[in-house]
Amino acid sequence: MIRRYPTATSTALAALAVLVCVSAAFAAEDDRHPLMVRGGMTHWNNLNQLHFGVQTDFGELRPNIALLPGVELGFGDSLTLLTIHGDLVYRFTEVTTRPWGLYGGGGLSFNFLDADHGGSDTDLGLSAVGGLTREFANGHQGLFELRFGLIDYPDLKITFGYSVF
């Protein structure tokens, strides 16, 4: 029996709406919670996809330790992949100077897979993440990120991002 879930697109839009609302609520308290658009390439087994999404920065929980939740939607090879992730990262401020930043950590994710020709699956995944950021003169930030799947997650994600708020 095939389990039926809401379509990946409707789930992505709902997750995006929640992320934007939560980000806006945090931004009302403190304007250091940017919303970043992201895009890149996903490789999982023999599948290659393009992914797009958003991420926000909930700020530091402890010095240099931050929570970065996000949502991404991947397309390609007859499969749609929706990933909702929450990353806990360490910012290596002792080895970089502004405008550059370096971070590493890991995160849990909910992965919703939907095949174009029927069938779907949901997995709880674990990944390791590392990235390089750059703050621009206009106050926005760019990033380059590598993510490696550890359990039930794409093998590799290469992502570029830019903060829009």
Q: What tens digit of pLDDT does each residue of 101-152 get?
A: 999 999 999 999 898 878 888 999 999 999 999 999 998 999 999 999 998 8
Under the banding of pLDDT at 50, 70 and 90, the label for residue 4 is very low
Amino acid 32: pLDDT: 62
CA distance 95 to 107: 23
Provide the CATH topology of domain 8-163.
Porin (2.40.160)
Tokens 């930030």 belong to which residue? 141
Q: What tens digit of pLDDT does each residue of 14-60 get?
A: 555 555 555 545 544 555 678 999 999 999 888 899 999 999 999 88
CA distance 128 to 37: 20
pTM score of the predicted model = 0.78
Q: What number of other Cβ atoms are within 10 A of residue 31's Cβ?
A: 10
Q: What is 51-87 written as a DSSP string?
A: EEEEEE---EEETTEEEEEEEEEEEETTEEEEEEEEE
